[in-house]
Structure 1
């Protein structure tokens, strides 16, 4: 690990420039953040019929009205028929007319809201009430459906905060008492029991002691801290009872600051502007001016100009030009991609992330738990005949390791088995950060790292110092007898995944990790990555990711732990392991691999690219058909029936085209 003080790094992050606020519609439409503006309904964390009942009722009224019109029911006529459709229209129209009116007040009229408003008013003027209602209803449904996919991730920050420890045992009047961590003052002493998470940053008063730092660094092996060392909140005590002198308030603790980083990174992520809003800046003024020109220009050259006839043509032209088919075809394509992902165990938290994945050029990976299994396993034994030629020594080693709950000891016992239960060991002692010793048959058994042998002046081959994996040396009778090598193995499908990403043309494949550089270097070389960065704390990862992000078009980050949460939030698209990943990573991520299979990463990119292809096909289809019918309408050769056909026909074709995505990637 680096010698830099983690708290100093965290403090440096607070001085960063405040994140920009990106409006939902920029200068178009409402002109505010749709998730914060008081004029919008709150987005629920799960499906809520209270949000959709108006659209549902409008649909029922529209369907009944069309049925009554078709069957020519006597009582369904006149003012009653008009009010019926007005009610169906009003249930959904306020979501469009409201933003149109607000933008009009601001002097911005050329947006899809304004176009749809005047088009539907025109439909009502012409007596085609059903068409006016359908336009508004289709748009509203499209908006609700697209918004539904991203609402699950709205409580990410709240869930992370709830995961923090809510009790600290602080020493007051000579007694340790459970209190709210927010009430603990700097300089007070807190107690952390074995297996508990550290709730506040502090200096270790009793030591040495071992801590699991994976939540902060991603490092698979525990770390030993000596007395006086800085221990950070979020670490887990693996030793016996320890005491810490608090050095930071609860709100300034490392775990709380990580949450701040997540919140900041999430707010810096640019909001993907809807295609229809961008297009409306050009499309809307053009069709409005064309409709106006169609009404007025013929006065100059038509000898028998009839205002009502040309008004009818211009309004038909405007109704045909309404982009409701586009509004339907675009989300249909994206939700075909969302469905394909769901079928393959890939959760996309928003349609926009499909679009981002399609354009990804750089993929950055966390190491532990993402590219590796996060489980230590014996990879090598020296000498090879150790278990065969010296069974007695092997049984002593296993018996000694069974006395410890250390991950290394557990891995060795799992590999060699339970051994001989009759082995008698005396003076068993655990040396924090080094290993175990015991006496048997008047000799001392040493099982630990090279530092343990150095401490007792036991000679061993010097080349072992350059060993790239975790090495546990064995000495007995004052002599080096062999070693056991352990590794956090690379996932079996990692190599294939990297190869497929390269085949997809991904330019940069990098790794960020809190683990030792020697270990990270070994993993990067074995997988064929373009580069790596080791010994990184969460804020180091975030800073490095910001640097990488500035050098590429679109960047994806793949991680699994709470330490990866800020990076997952900052990346253009964050991908988390859904099986073994932490709740924090899963909630913050934009894409979740529900079964942890790395091979799903290239599949997710393929789905994103296919979805983007289908969406643009739908857009082209909608434009083509509408352009044709608009020309016919302007020439007086198309009526509102053709307008309805253009909308419904394009929507139907878009549905069939979108279904192809799920069929293409069906399981």
Structure 2
């Protein structure tokens, strides 16, 4: 029988590299013991590393407070040396790495950056005797870095909690024995065993005759997915029925689930235009600031009668600290990374922060029907017979349909139950685009569409052609025997999804489908979709989206399956439904809705708008405060402490504002 839509098998995902906002370093493979098992306390080393990284900052803070206390003692030569020593150690504990970074960058020809600004500003403060202020600037800068690292770690943790649910142990079948082993050590072609209730650790081909799997962790779909021998089972699914065996088809690192995790990690490397602008701006802005600070130190010598070098140098140092673009450099990427983390918590994977920005510009949403707005699960709606017992009619039809794997055939078989299993079936022939022909219990059967019956000159009532739903016509012994109507169920949140999109100001919602137009129009009317077109081939969908783009529309297309890949690639924002259900769609899409809910389209737009709003709040906050304190500093009103607030304090506020994205409810 002919499918309503193209269900061609999808292409595999390509391997992806993992990157992060500030470094490409990632945790290595988990260490195993002699038996290949994963130790339970695998996070302890990382926690110790974090504790060690905070220790110098804490000690520096204690020493800074000690130095400030010594400032109140009567200054003799002994106390003075102790005081300088305390401040010096406090400075090196937090500023040593910053100075090393600055020196390395200078060797590479990258002189003007945040490390250089912080270095010359704080060393200058030591030169004029403002030790406490020099240490404070560097200390609070490093504390800001800790805040940023914690915020990024929180975002990454929320992402991994969503999808990185891979088991740590797998049962490897060797010479009839099942041995526990780390899944990273399993090779392609190995046989693994999964017990009921266990998660599948690796992608593989099912060797057992049949079993059901819970795929909710991957797609959000609560209905179990029954797999037959030879079908693909993906890492992250949960075995429900019985002990099964899989032949491994991909390594641990290359499983579909691992690639989705890598996909999210990689997203942070794709910068939004706002990030790219700030990066370019900082490269011009920083050297200008340095030369202005030099001018602020030297030029007054020629115009001010009571010129004191140290006073004007102090003003220039304040100017440098205020001018440091830390708040922008840190908080803007963190804002986008927070948006990606918030989206992941809601079952939405953005492939880059640039797509968060693009979502805010979308004014037209185009959707596929089957698998996007409908469940793609066909169910029998009505059985109409012509001079036949309904039970026998169903049993004969289901017997022939049991030889097909088409979703409509499976729906008929499921509806018939076990009534057909004792039937004898012979001479089955599938006629492409028409249906099935065969013999059941010595009766000649034709099961398919109207074209099939016409091909064999079997007359049937004309009113049958006017039925909206997908229909299966049946002829027994070359006589019309009746029909079965099949319908695809609309997803529970589909109507709410359209209402939410209209509520966001999306006035142009379009549905494009390969299903017959009468069905498409009925679904569109039910869901209140603005425009709908049925009977389309993949190239027809491309033409429709191209026409919308020529009208100046910013188009988001939502689809699933390989047949939607061309139009997903063409759209301004391509969105794939169904999570791991279609690798080709995921590979092509810019945004992946992991839990298969159309209402998440509006959620994705909301997250994009919220992220964009927070990013511009941070930009406005940073520039506004810095401009104000810069003016005060140039006229000698602001001290180094105000400069610290203008730089590090604003960075703190911007970071906290960025973290706020993950706490929002969408």
TM-score (normalised: structure 2): 0.63
2:131 pairs with 1:131? no
Deviation at 1:536, TM superposition (A): 4.4
1:360 counterpart residue number:
362
Q: Is the contact made by 1:346 and 1:591 (CA closer than 8 Å) also made in structure 2?
A: yes
The RMSD of aligned alpha carbons is 5.2
Alignment partner of 1:374: what SS? strand
Equivalent in the alignment of 2:407: 407
Change (3 A) 1:509 1:294: same
Could you tell me which residue of structure 1 aligns to residue 646 of structure 2?
Answer: 646
Closer, same or farther in 2 for the Cα pair 1:400/1:587, shift >3 Å? closer
Quote the residue 1:65 is aligned against.
Answer: 60
Instruction: Provide the residue aligned with 2:612 in structure 1.
Output: 612
Residues 1:299 and 2:301 are matched in the alignment: yes
The correspondence for 2:97, drawn from 87, 91, 102, is 91
8 Å Cα contact 1:400/1:428 also seen in 2 = no
Q: CA deviation at 1:307?
A: 1.2
3-state SS of paired residue (1:412): helix
- The whole-number CA distance in structure 1 between the counterparts of 2:491 and 2:135 is 61
Q: Match of 1:369, SS?
A: coil
Give the Cα separation in 1 of the matches to 2:450 and 2:368.
28
Q: CA deviation at 1:82?
A: 3.8
| TM-fit CA distance, 1:363 | 3.0
- Distance verdict in 2 for CA 1:86–1:623, change over 3 Å: same
1:185-224, aligned counterparts within 5 Å? none
Offset at residue 640 of structure 1 (A): 1.6
Mapped to 1, the partners of 2:368 and 2:56 lie a distance apart of: 53
Give the CA deviation at 1:459. Answer: 0.6
Q: Report which stretch shifted further, 347-356 or 297-306.
A: 347-356
1:376 correspondence with 2:378: yes
Aligned twin of 1:488? 488
Matched ranges for 1:542-581 at <5 A = 552=552, 554-562=554-562, 564=564, 572-577=572-577, 579=579, 581=581
Cα displacement (A) at 1:146: 6.0
Instruction: Kindly state the Cα deviation for residue 56 of structure 1 after the two structures are TM-superposed.
Output: 7.8
> For 2:482 and 2:451, how far apart are their aligned partners in 1?
15
CA distance in 2, matches of 1:483, 1:116: 79
Following TM superposition, by how much is the alpha carbon of 1:321 offset from its aligned partner in structure 2, in angstroms?
Answer: 2.0
Deviation, structure 1 residue 316: 1.0
> Is contact 1:122-1:319 (8 Å) kept?
no
Q: How does 1:3-152 map to 2 (within 5 A)?
A: 42-44=24-26, 59-72=54-67, 78=84, 82=88, 85-86=91-92, 88-92=94-98, 98=104, 102=108, 115=117, 118-119=120-121, 122-123=124-125, 125=127, 127=131, 128-132=134-138, 134-135=140-141, 138=144, 142=148
Match for residue 497 of structure 2? 497
Pair 1:631-2:637 in alignment = no
SS at match of 1:359: coil
1:430 Cα deviation from its structure 2 partner: 3.5
Structure 1 match to 2:438: 437
SS of residue paired to 2:482: strand
Q: Measured at CA, do residues 632 and 490 of structure 1 come closer, stay the same or move farther in structure 2, by a change above 3 Å?
A: same
SS of match in other structure, 2:581: coil
Confirm or deny: 8 A CA contact 1:121 1:132 kept in the other structure: no
What does residue range 307-456 of structure 1 map to in structure 2 within 5 Å? 307-382=309-384, 390-402=390-402, 404-419=404-419, 425=424, 427=426, 429-433=428-432, 434-438=435-439, 440=441, 444-456=444-456
Q: Partners of 2:50 and 2:553 in 1: how far apart?
A: 39
Displacement of 1:309 in angstroms is 0.8
Deviation at 1:313? 0.8
SS in 2 for 1:419: coil
Distance in 2, Cα, partners of 1:134 & 1:522: 62
CA distance in 1, matches of 2:92, 2:549: 50
Q: Retained in 2: the 8 A contact 1:365–1:512?
A: yes
Deviation at 1:327, TM superposition (A): 3.4
Shift of 1:407: 2.9
Q: Given the superposition, is the C-alpha separation of residues 568 and 426 from structure 1 closer, same or farther in structure 2, using an over 3 Å criterion?
A: closer
How far has the Cα of 1:480 moved from its partner?
Answer: 1.9
Corresponding position of 2:199: none
Give the Cα separation in 1 of the matches to 2:409 and 2:543. 36
For residues 536 and 314 of structure 1, what CA distance do their matches in structure 2 show?
67
For the Cα contact (< 8 Å) 1:119–1:319, is it kept in 2? yes
Classify 1:608/1:543 alpha carbon distance in 2 versus 1 (closer, same or farther; 3 Å): same
Give the gaps of 5 or more residues in structure 2.
Answer: 3-17, 31-42, 71-78, 161-187, 189-203, 207-231, 233-262
Q: Distance in 1 between matches of 2:353 and 2:47?
A: 20
Distance 1:342-1:479 versus aligned 2 partners, 3 A rule:
same
In structure 2, the CA distance between the partners of 1:493 and 1:627, relative to structure 1 (3 Å rule), is: same
Distance in 2 (alpha carbons) for counterparts of 1:386 and 1:580: 46
User: How big is the shift at 1:636?
Assistant: 1.9
Shift of residue 293, structure 1, vs aligned partner: 4.0
Aligned residue pair count: 523
Distance apart, 1:432 and its partner CA: 3.4
- The 2-side partners of 1:659 and 1:436 are apart by 62
- Give a deviation string over 1:504-528, Cα, whole Å, max 9, x none: 1235434565667776676566652
| Contact in 1 for aligned 2:370/2:513 (Cα 8 Å) | yes
Q: Which runs of 5+ in 1 are unaligned?
A: 2-33, 154-179, 181-194, 198-233, 235-261
Task: Please give the per-residue CA displacement for 1:441-484, whole angstroms capped at 9, x wherever unaligned.
Answer: x7544322223312321112345456654321122354323211
Counterpart of 2:166 in structure 1 is none
- d(CA) in 1 for partners of 2:575, 2:405: 33
TM-score with structure 1 setting the length: 0.63
Task: Please give the alpha-carbon distance, in whole angstroms, between the structure 2 residues aligned to 1:436 and 1:311.
Answer: 94
- CA offsets per residue over residues 487-520 of structure 1, 9 Å max, x none? 3343232233123212212354345656677766
